[in-house]
Structure 1
């Protein structure tokens, strides 16, 4: 009988020696476990140390302060170019983060009234004064000049004209998990602004609503505040400027018409007549 292996006959496997297939399977299992451990470790490190890569990684209570600081930066960027007022914040609930998860979107902003109608000039000067990291710029689109910037943490800034001599610049979070919720900055120290609103509205008579105050932190320290309220009825024909003779102190108004009055004093005054109502906002802004 020859020593060759007979065709169709498998050589015997020695006892205790793993088959090639079993040995490869063990290596595959070991590599998979090692990769899983490595991936888990990298994920743990990323969550605790890396910046967010999508806005859904920052909840409303975490992104809200970024919006608040952005409002202060916008007020400082206005400088002496117009009369600013912080607009009340808006919290829109019910947006969808995923098909299964609902969230909320926070928007805050600054309204500015200028002497002329050059909204684009104001937006360009503001863009130049905003932090370099925001990469602010102004482009002219079909409906006019638009300022766009990134305030960080996926907070988008946009500004555009809302009418002759009027600009609105907003900072918004986009849809976020609510988390612990948004907590607005404190409004302590607004006695002067509130008193000016109350005094001026009293000159029209009629029914005066409650005074509300909104605030934002200034980049160089301190707090900006806007107090606002409305009056209905009263002296419909009284000029808006008549209520601010004391506040003006010889300072010429930036705007003085039947329906809009803007005074760049300290604090700044913005009054508007709409549908038989007079709305007054008195603002202490941020230094440039």
Structure 2
């Protein structure tokens, strides 16, 4: 093979390497300038402050459908919401920083109802027409997870982490931020939900030293709300002994977790942390 056959194209055409380098730098500079000044690309169409309410509505839509329960006589689950979190530091592109909204919720469900519940959410017509959903299965072929694309790069994931516990996470994706990070105000706790939680905590021998509240909008109006109170008891109680007499329909019962449905829209979930703190969450669903 001759030298001409292996020579780079710029040598064959008489173009100097320096000119090629300069041209590459010009193209890179124009691309960066276009990125910073042109109209937004697809992901940039909705900055974080405008994406937050859209993501919240998507989360509320999916959680409201989960709150309806598995049908066919199954017990409605208890959903425990966590407050939203906005985390800066992600990258929209290599040249632009952004931030992301994330949310987490725990769905307490009778272990045998977890798969039917997920499959019911995936049924035709269960979610809005623009949503897409995929299901996952465990090694035994039992449905145990889902993933939802709610459009506009907003995603939700759910997985059964242990019997009776379905974790559902929301991710807005990394978004550009124009100005300060959007403020996410913690809502005031619903008085009835807070009262139920405090009553259960008192029955377990503890006084609330930590309180929080969280909510998401329901698709038909109103809100799905969680009031949480937590504290340390004087001595560790046996959850089932204390709570079974006052529970409605028991969903899960164990040494460190107890959840029950207490009416068509109300429910209570109790968890004992490693350090002994008892957290009681009372939720009113859509």
Return the TM-score normalized by structure 1. 0.72
1:136 is matched with 133
Residue 131 of structure 1 deviates from its aligned partner by: 1.8
User: Where does residue 10 of structure 2 map in the other structure?
Assistant: none
Question: Does structure 1 residue 61 correspond to structure 2 residue 18?
Answer: no
What is aligned with 1:149? 148
Contact 2:78 2:269 (8 Å CA) reproduced:
yes
After superposition, the Cα gap between the structure-2 partners of 1:101 and 1:112, relative to the gap in structure 1 and judged at 3 Å, is same
Residue matched to 2:250: 253
CA separation in 2, counterparts of 1:106 and 1:285? 22
Larger Rg: 1
Aligned partner of 1:97 among 88, 92, 95: 92
Which residue number corresponds to residue 195 of structure 2? 195
Q: Distance in 2 between matches of 1:105 and 1:234?
A: 40
Unaligned runs of 5+ in 1: 1-39
- Structure 2, unpaired ranges of 5+: 1-33, 71-76
Contact 1:74/1:110, CA 8 A, preserved across alignment = no
Aligned length: 236
Could you tell me whether the CA contact under 8 Å between 1:145 and 1:160 is conserved in 2?
yes
Cα distance in 1 for partners of 2:192, 2:219 equals 22
Task: Check conservation: 1:185, 1:215, Cα contact below 8 A.
Answer: no
TM-score, normalised relative to structure 2 = 0.73
Q: Deviations over 1:233-262 (max 9, x none)?
A: 42303325625745x3xx221112222111
SS in 2 for 1:255: strand
- SS of the residue corresponding to residue 236 of structure 1 reads coil
Indicate conservation of the 8 Å contact 1:104/1:176, yes or no: yes
Deviations 1:28-70 (A, max 9, x none): xxxxxxxxxxxx9xx99xx5xxxx7532332211111112112
1:84 aligns with 2:83: no
Compared CA separation, residues 198 and 173, structure 1 to 2 (3 A): same
Aligned-residue CA RMSD (Å): 2.7
Cα separation, 2, equivalents of 1:137 and 1:152: 14
